[in-house]
């Protein structure tokens, strides 16, 4: 088995840290209904009173949760983080922005032999963790897995499935993969906005310009990506207009690191965009996105935006989340095979929940369950969902109601 050392005698298989937050409480609700029989899990946070409320909700969904263990832990107290990490095989954390609150827990998990998964979309934080903790996590047989929500599991697992299919069926590398968001319906919470703001404010200027900033030091850099898409672009395979996808800056870097570590193809180009109904919508959406980025980058306008946007503890209504849905398509083109033929391989992934919250709660919960109970690849360090869990995660996600389909498109 590849559980970290000392993990076999742990009190818990999984601890949800940040269980009282907006997304954390959705994770707890999902686990109350979907956790496998016999899973030993607990909820963790700063406030015992708030944890009790979360436990009450969980026991309403599943009476067995009435005595769900509670762990009091606080980012400002390293001792509590170390004790929490030492008590469990896996820590699932929803406590962001991670560049402000994430690092002490990453360190505590490595020092105490617990796997870790989070929802960060902050390139600066991921780059810092790779540079500072990758070797230590490898030595400790620990998996530190960032980006286990809508960013970047669909991007990472979809590209993984396309590249695996190309290797297994045709023994060829990928030349390119274009991920297009075909549908993303659902609201936005304050926590996401806070994390996006932190990412814009804190990302190192050198990293911001470097599409390959998360690559392992010895890896070959892929082809020049050019600047991030900021305006409309015609997607030649779909023959549709696309607009910039707000999470491309993190997703694409995650996928490029996975591609380098798993060998999708030394010259593979990876990009992301979002489908637009027409050119006019693509132009307007592109302009709005640029305005947001510029306003978040400057202190006075950032202050103004925060006055009008949801606070970190707020999120969309239950109705908005339940009627939400998302669909992404990876359009893969292989290198030419021995007969000179290049093939197209697509992967379509969808979920009938909003991408930002209920959908993301399922994604990170299933990632944590994969780390806790499934046989996963023997790769450790600060790594991505596809590298840490691979097919084991894809299998769990399809059982959890997602559709993941790889298609040969001649």
Better pLDDT: 337 or 5: 337
Q: pLDDT-derived band of residue 4, with 50, 70 and 90 as boundaries?
A: very low
Better pLDDT: 10 or 224: 10
pLDDT in tens, 326-343: 999 999 999 999 899 999
User: Using an 8 Å Cβ cutoff, are 124 and 207 in contact?
Assistant: yes
Give me the phi and psi of 209, to 5 degrees please: -90, -10
pLDDT of residue 34: 96
Better pLDDT: 358 or 1: 358
Mean pLDDT of 218-247: 86
In terms of Cα–Cα distance, which of 23, 27, 6, 84 is closest to 365? 27
pLDDT in tens, 42-94: 999 999 999 999 999 999 999 999 999 999 999 999 999 999 999 999 999 99
Q: Which residues contact 239 (CB under 8 A, 6 or more apart)?
A: none
User: Using an 8 Å Cβ cutoff, are 82 and 104 in contact?
Assistant: no
Q: Give the pairing of strands 12-17 and 88-93.
A: parallel
Better pLDDT: 312 or 398: 398
Distances (CA, A) of 226 to 158, 270, 271, 293: 22, 11, 10, 19
pLDDT in tens, 372-397: 999 999 999 999 999 999 999 999 99
Mean pLDDT (the chain, rounded) = 91
pLDDT in tens, 292-323: 778 877 878 877 877 777 666 667 788 888 88
- Per-position DSSP letters for 194-234, written without gaps between them: HHHHHHHHHS-HHHHH-TTTTS-TTSPP-S---SPP-S-EE
User: Using an 8 Å Cβ cutoff, are 215 and 257 in contact?
Assistant: yes
Report whether pLDDT(16) > 50.
yes
In terms of Cα–Cα distance, which of 121, 127, 273, 267 is closest to 206? 127
* pTM score, whole prediction: 0.93
Q: Where are the beta strands (DSSP E) in 80-173?
A: 88-93, 115-117, 143-145
pLDDT of residue 224: 80
User: Using an 8 Å Cβ cutoff, are 409 and 344 in contact?
Assistant: yes
Residue 372 CA, distance from chain mean position: 17
pLDDT of residue 400: 97
**Cβ-based burial of 14 (10 A; exposed 0-12, middle 13-18, buried ≥19):** buried
Mean pLDDT of 163-180: 96
Q: pLDDT-derived band of residue 247, with 50, 70 and 90 as boundaries?
A: confident
pLDDT of residue 311: 67
pLDDT of residue 273: 94
Residue 331 backbone zone (phi > 0: left; psi -120 to 50: alpha; other: beta): beta
pLDDT in tens, 84-125: 999 999 999 999 889 889 999 999 999 999 999 999 988 999
pLDDT of residue 388: 98
Better pLDDT: 9 or 212: 212
CA dist., res. 129 & res. 104, Å (int): 11
Q: Which residues contact 71 (CB under 8 A, 6 or more apart)?
A: 15, 17, 42, 43, 44, 83, 84, 87
Distances (CA, A) of 69 to 6, 65, 88, 366: 21, 9, 12, 20
pLDDT of residue 186: 82
Query: At CA 83, angle to CA 125 and CA 130, rounded to 5?
Result: 20
Better pLDDT: 80 or 187: 80
Both tokens of 47, joined, read 């406030």
User: Using an 8 Å Cβ cutoff, are 216 and 260 in contact?
Assistant: yes
Distances (CA, A) of 287 to 230, 232, 244: 8, 10, 10
- Per-position DSSP letters for 294-333, written without gaps between them: HHHHSHHHHHHHHHHSPPTT----HHHHHT-EEEEEEEEE
Residue with tokens 């002490």: 104
Both tokens of 168, joined, read 């297994």
User: Using an 8 Å Cβ cutoff, are 187 and 316 in contact?
Assistant: yes
Q: pLDDT-derived band of residue 7, with 50, 70 and 90 as boundaries?
A: very low
């Amino acid at each position: 088995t590849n559980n970290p050392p000392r993990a076999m005698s742990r009190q818990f298989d999984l601890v949800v840290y940040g269980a009282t937050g907006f997304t954390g409480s959705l994770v707890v609700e999902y686990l109350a209904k979907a956790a496998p029989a016999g899973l030993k899990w607990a909820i963790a946070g700063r406030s015992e009173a708030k944890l009790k409320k979360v436990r009450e909700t969980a026991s309403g969904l599943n009476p067995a949760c009435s005595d769900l263990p509670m762990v009091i832990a606080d980012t400002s107290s390293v001792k509590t983080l170390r004790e929490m990490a030492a008590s469990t095989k896996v820590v699932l954390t929803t406590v962001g922005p991670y560049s402000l609150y994430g690092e002490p827990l990453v360190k505590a998990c490595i020092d105490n032999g617990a796997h870790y998964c989070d929802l960060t979309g902050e390139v600066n934080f991921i780059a810092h963790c790779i540079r500072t903790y990758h070797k230590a996590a490898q030595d400790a047989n620990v998996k530190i897995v960032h980006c286990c929500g809508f960013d970047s599991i669909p991007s990472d697992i979809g590209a993984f499935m396309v590249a695996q299919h190309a290797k297994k069926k045709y023994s060829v590398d990928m030349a390119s993969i274009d991920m297009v968001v075909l549908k993303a319906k659902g609201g936005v919470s304050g926590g996401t906005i806070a994390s996006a703001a932190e990412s814009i404010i804190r990302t190192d200027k050198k990293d911001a310009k470097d599409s390959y900033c998360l690559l392992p030091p010895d890896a070959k850099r892929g082809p020049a990506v050019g600047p991030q898409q900021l305006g409309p672009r015609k997607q030649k395979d779909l023959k549709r207009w696309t607009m910039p996808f707000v999470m491309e800056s993190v997703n694409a870097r995650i996928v490029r690191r996975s591609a380098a570590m798993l060998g999708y193809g030394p010259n593979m180009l990876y990009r992301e965009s979002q489908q637009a109904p027409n050119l006019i919508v693509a132009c307007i959406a592109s302009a709005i996105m640029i305005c947001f980025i510029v306003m978040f980058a400057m202190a006075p306008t950032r202050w103004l935006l925060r006055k009008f946007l949801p606070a970190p503890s707020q999120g969309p209504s239950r109705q908005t989340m339940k009627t939400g849905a998302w669909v992404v398509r990876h359009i893969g083109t292989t290198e030419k095979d021995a007969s000179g033929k290049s093939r197209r391989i697509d992967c379509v992934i969808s979920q009938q929940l909003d991408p930002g919250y209920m959908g993301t709660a399922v994604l990170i919960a299933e990632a944590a369950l994969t780390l806790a109970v499934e046989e996963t690849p023997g790769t450790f360090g600060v790594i991505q969902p596809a590298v840490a869990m691979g097919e084991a995660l894809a299998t769990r996600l399809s059982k959890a109601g997602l559709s993941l389909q790889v298609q040969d498109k001649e």
